[in-house]
Structure 1
Amino acid sequence: MTKSEKIAIGGDHGGFELKEFIKNHLEHQGYQVEDFGTYDKSSCDYPDFAYPVAKAVAEHKFDKGIVICGTGIGVSIVANKVKGVRCGLVHDCFSAKATRQHNDTNVLAMGERVVGKGLAQEIVDIWLHTEFEGGRHKKRVDKIKEVEKEN
């Protein structure tokens, strides 16, 4: 991913601090980042933030999206309901790489209560700099797209 590409980011109160940290990290690297909220730690509902991020990626308004809540589970479920989104819930560096190489994910989900800031930063950097391998993996991603057409 080139740093001129656009990244949408969002999360609920359980992911607020990590979202702010990752947003700052990306902006300092020169990425164009749009924050879809939340904008403070007040209790809120993760679908209100994960859905707009995923929708914006599916509509090609952004190249990639990052969604964060306490565990990453809720935001990943919501993001994967959006046709055209392949969201990977990632809490380690190996999965960050594999989800891009093998699944061509366009949205990354993480949990603030699961990963620390340092690991989250590594995960994001690996995920953004890893390309989809295609080949045998392309036919599998194409099958995911076929499933979407049926629903």
Structure 2
Amino acid sequence: MTQLTRLLTSSGVKVYTGAPYKLMLTNEAENQRAISYSGSGRSAEYQLTTTLTYEVHGDRDRFLLGDKVTADRSYVHDGNNLTGSDQEASQVRQEMRNDLIQKLMARLQQMTPTRLEELQAKADAVAKAEADAQEAAQRIRDETPQQSPVEVPAR
């Protein structure tokens, strides 16, 4: 997504490897469905939906938040002008991509440094609690007497 990188950079965001926060685009899914039909039973109008799923990770690659943005558009398919219909579909897809990037940027602009620090503190607390729980479980396993794997026949 070089378009997203350019937009982030032009908005004053420093984009570099090793940054303290990472934006991860985890999935992009496109769906197309017919929403109307012509008299001959052919699809005449299609609705396109594209969903972009993303996550923000912080220090030690800890998950801070995840969400998705969606763009919907429709276009008319002309069975008599396939080239024109394909071009229109491509243009609609590009407009949707631009819309997704704008929506994602709007979401990211709401992320203040204070909010990111709060999310990082919460993620650190969760990770510590999980580590403490694993340590306690291991301690219990270590302190529990183990039954011998050798079976002694009874007389």
Higher relative contact order (CA 8 A, sep 6+): 1
What TM-score, normalized to structure 2? Answer: 0.35
Structure number with bigger Rg = 2
TM-score with structure 1 setting the length: 0.36
> Whose strand proportion is higher, 1 or 2?
2
